[in-house]
Amino acid sequence: MESILIQAIVSGILLGLIYGLIGMGMNIIYGVMRVVNFAHGEFMMLAAYICYWLNRQYATNPLHSLIIIVPLFFGLGFLVYYLFVPRLLNSEDPEMASFLVFFGISLVLSSLILIIWGADPRGIPFPFKRVSVSIGEFFFPLGRLIAGGFCGIVILLLILLLFKTYLGKAIRAIIQNREAVSILGIDTHLLSAFSFGIGLLLVGLAGGLVILSFPAITPMMGSSYTLVAFVVVILGGLGTPLGALLGGFIFGLAENIGAVFMPTSLSPVIAFVLLITMILIRPQGILGEG
């Protein structure tokens, strides 16, 4: 029992890192633009399918595919920003308008993937020689260890960006006061587009790493990851990038520890229970300001 629990905790932390990465992307986008990216999970799914496709075509290791995913999704963020967001921010009800636009994008992405790759679950041959590593009496799946470790490094780099560079400080500042940033000589559109690029880059990375951690991807998985992003963001606090990391850990741990005590079929319920509990007791999230 004890060893199962320890294994669940480690898995939970590893998963939490991935969830944190997904949520941090969503939170940067929301914080900077006050736009909710309802297509967040679908963007992640797109990245996963691109990694799948590269693997089929060129037998690329998903970790190597990330070299393509990073610039591609960063650029996609710029494109999506300039195509939609300035118009949304000028509309009379930006939040409602952004809901419609990004819900639309999520449908387009899901359908696109369905058309190109069909409805059957897809997977890639495991790219490493061993499936799991044992430490003492414990066994850990290697895919998740690598994915989690990789997320950890990316999150560290992101924190360095946010707290040590001018650009990152400007991102934290624009989250707090958009107009004040513009009067200091900072181009808020360019900064927002950059932030959208970062947001999609993070979720793109998560997509590539998910294909390492889970055996199969399907055109339906997008919405469940959008839900993950929501739960993580609401747990940690809307618009606070570091909150999402915390939310990721809580969700990852709850899911894995929950699975020890409950049938797996109940695990989606955990997301909703966490979501509702948080909204009832602290709607602004753990690190959010009320």
CB of 206 to another protein, least distance (A): 26
The answer to the question of residue 166 lying near another protein (CB under 8 A) is yes
Q: Which amino acid, residue 192? A: S
Binding residue (CB under 8 A) for another protein from 56, 111, 139, 187: 187
For 208, how many CA atoms within 13 A lie in the half-sphere containing its CB?
Answer: 26
What letter would DSSP give residue 218? -
The answer to the question of residue 172 lying near another protein (CB under 8 A) is yes
CB of 144 to another protein, least distance (A): 34
Nearer Cβ to another protein (127/288): 288
What letter would DSSP give residue 93? S
CB of 96 to another protein, least distance (A): 20
The answer to the question of residue 232 lying near another protein (CB under 8 A) is no
> Contact 48/209 with Cβ under 8 angstroms?
no
**Cα maximum dimension of the chain:** 60
Residue among 83, 6, 23, 44 at smallest CA distance from 214? 44
Residue among 185, 191, 201 at smallest CA distance from 46? 201
Binding residue (CB under 8 A) for another protein from 135, 184, 280, 281: 184
The answer to the question of residue 90 lying near another protein (CB under 8 A) is no
CB of 242 to another protein, least distance (A): 11
The answer to the question of residue 179 lying near another protein (CB under 8 A) is yes
The answer to the question of residue 185 lying near another protein (CB under 8 A) is yes
CB of 188 to another protein, least distance (A): 7
The answer to the question of residue 34 lying near another protein (CB under 8 A) is no
The answer to the question of residue 181 lying near another protein (CB under 8 A) is yes
Note the residue count of the chain: 290
Binding residue (CB under 8 A) for another protein from 159, 186, 273, 286: 186
The answer to the question of residue 176 lying near another protein (CB under 8 A) is yes
Angle at 286 between CA 280 and CA 289, to 5 degrees: 95
The answer to the question of residue 223 lying near another protein (CB under 8 A) is no
Residue 56 has a CB neighbour count (10 Å cut-off) of 12
CB of 191 to another protein, least distance (A): 9
Q: Give CA 110 to chain center in angstroms.
A: 17
> Contact 46/113 with Cβ under 8 angstroms?
yes
Residue among 29, 38, 37, 73 at smallest CA distance from 174? 29
Token digits of residue 85: 């967001």
Binding residue (CB under 8 A) for another protein from 7, 61, 188, 223: 188
Q: Which residues bind another protein (CB under 8 A)?
A: 166, 169-170, 172-173, 176-177, 179-188
